[in-house]
């Protein structure tokens, strides 16, 4: 813990997987409240039924940076709480592992003994669940969760009611106060559809859930807890939010050249309790090109934001605005974030950006390619360059305009060593 950390679980809404004849009132909410009421007396705080992998969880009200979870066991039958997993979630639906106790050491027979799961680096989550890894009853005396609010969200958990565990129906999602439209469910996240600013094609893709469907599917299949994700061309944030639900919002960084759509993405991040995603507005150049790059460059904004680009092309009837955007160095930004996953969708700009780029720490690339826009020879040159850097094509996942490329651990280590030597 650090100075200022507090017990975030105290008095927050709790829930458990089942009830038993020993539960208080036979209600999973009422019974669960006995495990985060501040009483650490070694008595039973709650009691589930006898089942496979029973659990208890607490809703912290909003995402927090978590550093430690303490569990005070029940003094009697303390041996039942042996192997268990601590899980985190942003919505109470999808869970990721925070800590696993797999040893045989027992604890809690004598007060004030407790089990402490301390995280080497703060992790972001709204819900914390304790799950027994086996078939038995689950019970303990008290659970404490120490950490601090995500910057900019402090106080919201006391000002608003917690969101329900299940997703709200699309039609019930709140409307923007100053824009026409509403939030719709796209995959597992909510995205605001601006019916005035967005084109009919874009509105249809968002409403029917097809928008970035392949990319979101690949992220869910290939990105792992512990990864750090760097996304270029975030648009409204559907892919980055999908990644953040796996790795945590703090482990995701996005770059978007269109400042208006970048603002929409930040709003979507906040609405989905993922405001800790670091969202930047700017144009990226690889290190070799950055030395001669201007401090600012023109960016051509299309009414369909997925078609906004650096080069308007021969036909520019879709361009509605030209904006001046600051530039940055790709390798410097990746290194600063500590990224090992690169996601890229920049309407043909990937060729100039990635040809010559030194991606020493990247193990996985999920990239939309645009040979119809930049030409097949240019796309081939980019793929050939990445192959020469030790990436291989994942044929099982590539297709439908998406290239997935990976490096094995040995190649990644060799690439990192070469980059360090350079």
> 112 preceded by cis ω (within 30°)?
yes
Residue 225 to residues 186, 202, 220, Cα–Cα distance (Å)? 22, 31, 11
Q: Where are the domains of the chain?
A: 6-159, 170-421
Question: Does the domain at residues 170-421 carry the CATH identifier 3.30.420.40?
Answer: no
Model pLDDT for residues 334-372, shown as the tens digit of each residue: 999 999 999 999 888 899 999 999 998 999 999 999 888
Residue 368 to residues 105, 123, 295, Cα–Cα distance (Å)? 49, 30, 27
Could you tell me the pLDDT band of residue 306, with boundaries at 50, 70 and 90? low
Q: What string of DSSP letters covers 318-351?
A: TEEEEEEEEEEEHHHHHHHHT--EEEE--TTTHH
Q: Stretch 120-135: mean pLDDT, rounded? A: 90
Instruction: Give the pLDDT of residue 168.
Output: 30
User: Does residue 176 surpass a pLDDT of 60?
Assistant: no
Model pLDDT for residues 4-43, shown as the tens digit of each residue: 688 999 999 999 988 888 888 678 888 999 999 999 888 9
Model pLDDT for residues 58-91, shown as the tens digit of each residue: 999 888 899 999 999 999 899 999 899 999 888 7
Say if CB 68 and CB 92 are below 8 A apart.
no
Considering the entire predicted model, what is its pTM? 0.56
CATH value of 6-159 in 3.90.550.10, 2.130.10.10, 2.60.120.260, 3.40.50.300: 2.60.120.260
- Sign of CA pseudo-dihedral 153, 224, 394, 189: negative
Q: In 355-408, which residue ranges form alpha helices assigned H by DSSP? A: 371-374, 376-388
Compute the distance between CA of residue 192 and CA of residue 217 in angstroms, rounded to an integer: 20
Model pLDDT for residues 403-417, shown as the tens digit of each residue: 999 998 766 666 555
Instruction: Give the pLDDT of residue 166.
Output: 29
Instruction: Give the pLDDT of residue 350.
Output: 94
């Amino acid at each position: 813990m650090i100075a200022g950390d507090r017990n975030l679980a105290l008095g927050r809404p709790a829930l458990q997987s089942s009830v038993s004849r020993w539960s208080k009132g036979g209600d999973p909410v009422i019974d669960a409240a006995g495990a985060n009421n501040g009483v650490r007396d070694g008595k039973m705080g709650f009691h589930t039924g006898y089942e496979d992998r029973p659990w208890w969880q607490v809703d912290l009200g909003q995402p927090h940076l978590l550093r430690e979870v303490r569990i005070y066991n029940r003094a009697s039958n303390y041996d039942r709480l042996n192997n268990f997993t601590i899980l985190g979630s942003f919505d109470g639906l999808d869970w990721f592992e925070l800590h696993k106790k797999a040893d045989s050491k027992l604890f809690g027979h004598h007060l004030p003994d407790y089990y402490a799961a301390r995280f080497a680096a703060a992790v972001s989550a709204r819900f914390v669940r304790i799950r027994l890894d086996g078939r038995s009853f689950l019970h303990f005396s008290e659970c404490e969760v120490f950490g601090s609010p995500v910057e900019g969200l402090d106080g919201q958990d006391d000002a608003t009611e917690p969101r329900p565990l299940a997703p709200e129906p699309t039609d019930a999602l709140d409307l923007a106060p100053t824009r026409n439209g509403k939030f719709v469910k796209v995959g597992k996240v909510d995205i605001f559809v601006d019916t005035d600013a967005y084109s009919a094609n874009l509105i249809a893709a968002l409403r029917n859930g097809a928008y970035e469907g392949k990319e979101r599917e690949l992220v869910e299949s290939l990105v792992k807890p512990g990864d750090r994700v760097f996304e270029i061309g975030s648009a409204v944030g559907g892919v980055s939010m999908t990644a953040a639900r796996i790795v945590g919002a703090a482990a995701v960084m996005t770059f978007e050249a269109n400042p208006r759509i970048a603002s929409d993405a930040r709003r979507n991040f906040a609405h989905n309790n993922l405001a800790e995603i670091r969202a930047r507005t700017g144009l990226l150049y690889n290190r070799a090109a950055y030395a001669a790059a201007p401090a600012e460059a023109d960016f051509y904004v299309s009414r369909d934001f997925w078609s906004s680009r650096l080069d308007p092309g021969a036909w520019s009837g879709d361009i509605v605005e030209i904006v001046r955007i600051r530039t940055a160095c790709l390798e410097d930004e990746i290194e600063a974030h500590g990224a090992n996953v690169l996601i890229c969708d920049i309407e043909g700009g990937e060729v100039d950006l990635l040809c010559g780029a030194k991606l020493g720490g990247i193990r996985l690339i999920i990239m939309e390619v645009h040979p119809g826009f930049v030409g097949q020879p240019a796309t081939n040159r980019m793929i050939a360059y990445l192959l020469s850097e030790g990436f291989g094509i994942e044929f099982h996942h590539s297709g439908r305009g998406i290239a997935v490329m990976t490096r094995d651990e040995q190649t990644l280590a060799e690439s990192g060593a070469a980059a360090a030597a350079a």
